[in-house]
């Protein structure tokens, strides 16, 4: 089995920087596990690693989609698996960096996601349940799923609207529970490194990051996306973008839009932590408070690689 490092945790906690330092120390290459960094032209709001920050380390699954393309866990799993095999074959260590929980779980546990084919029936089902969720909330989706597939509802957080709808879609299309999908043994050996810090410190870092993004041109980037079709595009659902659309329509103030980006980012960080703590076997480190833990993490990784 190929050995793979995965660095997980909430937004703004330092996953990108650690992935590069580990790649330098371990002869590695980085695979993005982020569902938004795949989109070209969306650099600031996705906190996409810059060429200077890459420090010569090859990065993969970044800038591979146009903003009107649909990206999914199934597509990520297939592409990441190919890169893991390729990087390992060249004698280097694959390092996944990203915070999209279900994507990483699908890869590390080799979940059977089925076909990524997006046919008319799937589109109609998803459109219907997205409209239901917009009107009645995710709680309604979760309770509906609990009635038709109780086992699946216990595995999917209420906040994960996309996966709730996906589970309902499978039941409606196939007549079989989403939870009955066949599972395969993991193809690779993963070590999950989780980064976290005290909640007030994390929230302060998130707020500061949004302020930095504004200085870098986040509003202009969101405006560009809005002009391409905005909320009707797959990329238009991303945090840091959709909060500006009401502002562009004259419905809210600029300050309110910025405050909403910060709020949504903080809420997302909380959901990320909940997911990784409850769904995946993560080894946690605090890189922000107190002493630098990078050397401790390197030693932990070295010991795991030798086993």
DSSP states of 236-299: GGSTTTGGGHHHHTTSS-HHHHHHHHHHHHHHHHHHHHHHHHHHS-PEEEESSSSS--HHHHHH
**Residue 179's pLDDT is what?**
77
Q: Specify the DSSP class assigned to residue 70.
A: -
Q: Say if residue 54's pLDDT is above 70.
A: yes
Beta carbons of 88 and 63 less than 8 angstroms apart: no
Which domains are seen in the chain, by residue range? 3-111+189-306 (3.40.50.300), 120-180 (1.10.20.140)
Contacting residues for 275 by C-beta, under 8 A, at least 6 apart: 101, 102, 157, 160
45 is in an annotated binding site: no
- Read off the pLDDT of residues 134-179 as tens digits, 9 standing for 90 and up: 899 999 999 999 999 998 888 888 887 878 988 898 888 888 888 7
Q: Which residue has the higher pLDDT, 30 or 123?
A: 30
- Rounded percentage of the chain residues whose pLDDT exceeds 90: 69
Q: Say if residue 269's pLDDT is above 60.
A: yes
Task: Tell me how far apart the alpha carbons of residues 299 and 149 are, in angstroms, rounded to a whole number.
Answer: 43
290 is in an annotated binding site: no
15 is in an annotated binding site: yes
**Residue 223's pLDDT is what?**
98
Task: Tell me how far apart the alpha carbons of residues 302 and 109 are, in angstroms, rounded to a whole number.
Answer: 23
Instruction: Indicate whether this model's pTM tops 0.85.
Output: no
10 is in an annotated binding site: yes
246 is in an annotated binding site: no
């Amino acid at each position: 089995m190929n050995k793979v490092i995965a660095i997980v945790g909430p937004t703004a906690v330092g996953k990108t920087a650690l992935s590069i330092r580990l790649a330098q120390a371990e002869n590695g290459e980085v695979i993005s596990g982020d569902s938004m960094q795949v989109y070209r032209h969306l650099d600031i709001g996705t906190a996409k690693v810059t060429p200077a920050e890459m420090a010569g380390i090859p990065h993969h699954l970044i800038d591979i989609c146009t903003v009107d393309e649909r990206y999914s866990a199934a597509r990520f799993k297939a592409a990441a698996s190919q890169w893991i095999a390729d990087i390992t074959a060249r004698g280097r260590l694959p390092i996944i960096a990203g915070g999209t929980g279900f994507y990483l779980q699908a890869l590390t546990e080799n979940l059977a996601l089925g076909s990524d084919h997006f046919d008319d029936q799937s589109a109609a089902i998803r459109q219907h349940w997205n409209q239901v969720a917009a009107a009645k909330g995710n709680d309604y989706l979760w309770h509906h799923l609990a009635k038709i597939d109780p086992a699946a509802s216990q595995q999917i957080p209420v906040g994960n609207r996309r996966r709730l709808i996906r589970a309902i879609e499978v039941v409606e299309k196939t007549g079989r529970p989403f939870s009955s999908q066949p599972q395969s043994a993991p193809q690779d050996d993963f070590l999950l490194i989780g980064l976290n810090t005290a909640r007030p410190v994390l929230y302060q870092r998130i707020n500061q990051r949004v302020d930095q993004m504004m200085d870098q041109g986040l509003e202009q980037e969101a405006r560009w996306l809005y002009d391409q079709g905005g909320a009707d595009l797959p990329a238009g659902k991303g945090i840091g973008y959709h909060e500006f659309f009401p502002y562009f329509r004259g419905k809210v103030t600029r300050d309110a839009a910025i405050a909403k980006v910060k709020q949504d980012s903080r809420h997302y960080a909380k959901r990320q932590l909940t997911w990784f703590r409850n769904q995946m076997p993560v080894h946690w480190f605090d890189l922000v408070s107190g002493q630098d833990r990078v050397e401790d993490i390197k030693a932990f990784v070295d010991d795991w690689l030798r086993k």
